[in-house]
Amino acid sequence: MLDRIRISSRINGGFGVVVALLLGLAALTWTASSGLGGLFSTYQNEVRLVERANDLRNAMRLTQFAVADFRADPGEPSAAQLDQALGGLGARAAALRDLANRDTEVAAVAEIEQAVARFTALANGYREVTETTVARTSELTQLGIEHRRGIGALRSALEERGAMDLAYDALRASDAFLVTRVRIDRFFAGWPAEEFDTATAPFEQTAAALDRVSRGGLMPEERAILSGARSGIASFLETAMAARDAELARRPASMELDAAATALVTRVEAMMAKVIEGQAALEAAGDTRVATTQTTTVAVSVAALVLAMLIAWVIGRSVAGSAGGMARSISRIADGDLETPVGGTDHKTEIGVMARSLEVLRENARAAEKERAARAESEERRAEFFDQLGRNLADLASGGLATRMQRADHPGVDEVTLRLCDDFNALGQSFSTLIAQAQSSATSVRETAAQLAQGSGEMSHRAETQAATLEQSAAALDEMTASVKSAADKASEADGAVGTVRREADDSRAVVAATVAAMG
């Protein structure tokens, strides 16, 4: 199949495959890097989310400290500190919302925001009810001090004028009122609500003692003091009940606030735990992605290298095989083997083009060699012909007038040369005729000489006959001379033809040698 694909196309195809593999490796690396970048970005966002959640948890602790400070000293400074802490809490909750990406995180942050809003509302409500309680208890304290002093003033006035029984009732009223205040103060100090209820009995004792004093004989000033004391303890009771209601409202508000704070901290810590767990999962995913990317990159790189080496080996082997066959063909032609066909002429590659060109060169060299061989054979046959011609001429010169040359005895000799056979045969025939005529003339001369003796009469006639015979002999000799000259001219032409054939053979040999040198 590769024999029908050009070498340049094979190289370009192999290079294209390697480039495609490298591009695939680059795409894989880019995809892996992008995935790792996404994981790293998500991991960084998770880290920031944990940091913001930790800030929110710390802000919650500061808010709890502010609540505790407000509980301990519910004044303007602690209230302002609580407001500031609540504002920071809301800002940090909003910062969490900007970082939440995953659905679970968004849901968790929404729950945290709801918890922050609830805690803020409870804290504000707790502050309001605490401020009311503080105002009531402060008023209650003032009333208690003021009206116990009024009862004490009544007792002192009664003692000064000697109304000891009334003074004792006033003392009992003052002591009972003190017990009432102590029990109420303990309730506001955090004791159960039942402690407030235990203040009812001493309060009633205070009222009963003052009633007994009012039934005694009192001076106008003493009655005025008693009236103020009785209205004061009534106002004290009313204020105490209002303060009690406020305290009873503050206590569950405080507990609810503490529960909301605990729930908020729990939610924040739960979200932090989930985010940290997600960070661990991201770290594991990142490690897995890195390991997978490394393994895949190495595998693809090795595969690309092996494939590139395989492609190079296949292309090199095919090219080397074709080039080796071409080299062997050139060597055979250089060694003179023109009979073995050149292999690879059917290939569609550059080697095939070279093979076809070399095959044309081989055929041309083969044709030239055949022509040279034919010329050499023809030259050899002509040389043999001329050797035979020379021998025949020598034989003819020696008197072998019967010597003849037959065309059939010299196959492969060209027509021009074969005409020399006819010329030689004609020359032999002419020599035979000439010799016969000469012999006939000699016979005639002898006969004439014999007859001269017989008669002089016939002398003149014989002389004329002899002259005619001599004239014929001279003409025959002239004809023989012309034939010999013609034969010599034919021999010269044959020698020139032999020289021409030799030169053509030399030219053919030079062409073959140049062809072999070009192929080498």
Opening angle at CA 230, ends 227 and 236, nearest 5: 135
Q: Mean per-residue pLDDT for 156-174?
A: 93
Average of per-residue pLDDT values in the chain: 80
Q: Mean per-residue pLDDT for 10-36?
A: 71
With 60 as the cut, is the pLDDT of residue 452 above it?
no
Domain boundaries, the chain: 2-299, 367-519
Eight-class DSSP state of 456: S
Q: Which amino acid belongs to residue 21?
A: L
Spatial distance between the Cα atoms of 13 and 2, rounded to a whole number of angstroms = 12
With 90 as the cut, is the pLDDT of residue 20 above it?
no
Q: Which amino acid belongs to residue 58?
A: N
* More confident call, 127 vs 96: 127
Spatial distance between the Cα atoms of 171 and 154, rounded to a whole number of angstroms = 9
Mention every residue, 6+ apart, whose C-beta is less than 8 A from residue 339.
366
pLDDT, position 474 = 61
Opening angle at CA 263, ends 262 and 264, nearest 5: 90
Opening angle at CA 136, ends 258 and 235, nearest 5: 145
Spatial distance between the Cα atoms of 201 and 179, rounded to a whole number of angstroms = 9
SS3 call for 281: helix
CA-derived radius of gyration, the chain: 76
Q: According to CATH, what is the number of the domain 2-299?
A: 1.20.58.920
Q: Mean per-residue pLDDT for 440-462?
A: 64
Alpha helix ranges (H) inside 349-456: 350-397, 415-454
Spatial distance between the Cα atoms of 210 and 154, rounded to a whole number of angstroms = 10
Question: At 456, is the pLDDT very low, low, confident or very high (cuts 50, 70, 90)?
Answer: low
pLDDT, position 167 = 94
* More confident call, 110 vs 463: 110
Mention every residue, 6+ apart, whose C-beta is less than 8 A from residue 482.
none
- Per-residue pLDDT reduced to its tens digit, 189-204: 889 999 999 999 999 9
With 80 as the cut, is the pLDDT of residue 289 above it?
no
Spatial distance between the Cα atoms of 226 and 155, rounded to a whole number of angstroms = 10
Eight-class DSSP state of 342: P
Question: At 99, is the pLDDT very low, low, confident or very high (cuts 50, 70, 90)?
Answer: confident
Task: Of 51-55, 231-235, 298-302, 404-408, give the range with the top mean pLDDT.
Answer: 231-235
With 60 as the cut, is the pLDDT of residue 188 above it?
yes
pLDDT, position 480 = 60
CA proximity to 109, closest of 97, 101, 117, 99: 97
- Per-residue pLDDT reduced to its tens digit, 358-386: 778 777 877 777 778 777 777 777 777 78
- Per-residue pLDDT reduced to its tens digit, 49-60: 888 888 888 988
Give the number of other Cβ atoms within 10 Å of residue 43's Cβ. 18
Element (H, E) at 138: helix 103-160
Length of the chain: 520
Q: Mean per-residue pLDDT for 138-145?
A: 92
Portion of the chain with pLDDT greater than 90, in percent: 28
CA dist list (Å): 35 to 178, 286, 287, 290, 295: 78, 9, 12, 10, 15
Q: Which amino acid belongs to residue 415?
A: E
- Write the burial class of residue 115 (CB in 10 Å: 0-12 exposed, 13-18 middle, 19+ buried): buried
Question: At 81, is the pLDDT very low, low, confident or very high (cuts 50, 70, 90)?
Answer: very high
What are residue 189's phi and psi, to 5 degrees?
-80, -5
Q: Which amino acid belongs to residue 428?
A: G
Return the C-alpha torsion angle 134, 138, 139, 143, nearest 10. Answer: 150
* More confident call, 467 vs 6: 6
pLDDT, position 228 = 93
Spatial distance between the Cα atoms of 373 and 412, rounded to a whole number of angstroms = 12
With 90 as the cut, is the pLDDT of residue 513 above it?
no
- Per-residue pLDDT reduced to its tens digit, 227-257: 999 999 999 999 999 999 999 999 999 899 9
pLDDT, position 230 = 93
With 90 as the cut, is the pLDDT of residue 212 above it?
yes
pLDDT, position 52 = 85
pLDDT, position 324 = 74
Eight-class DSSP state of 123: H
Spatial distance between the Cα atoms of 214 and 210, rounded to a whole number of angstroms = 6
End-to-end CA distance of the chain: 30
CA dist list (Å): 8 to 12, 308, 335: 6, 16, 31
Comparing 10-19, 30-39, 178-187, 340-349, the range with the smallest average pLDDT is: 30-39
Spatial distance between the Cα atoms of 250 and 133, rounded to a whole number of angstroms = 8
With 80 as the cut, is the pLDDT of residue 145 above it?
yes
- The pTM score is 0.51
With 90 as the cut, is the pLDDT of residue 160 above it?
yes
pLDDT, position 204 = 95
SS3 per-residue string spanning 187-235: HHCCCCHHHHHCCHHHHHHHHHHHHHHHHCCCCHHHHHHHHHHHHHHHH
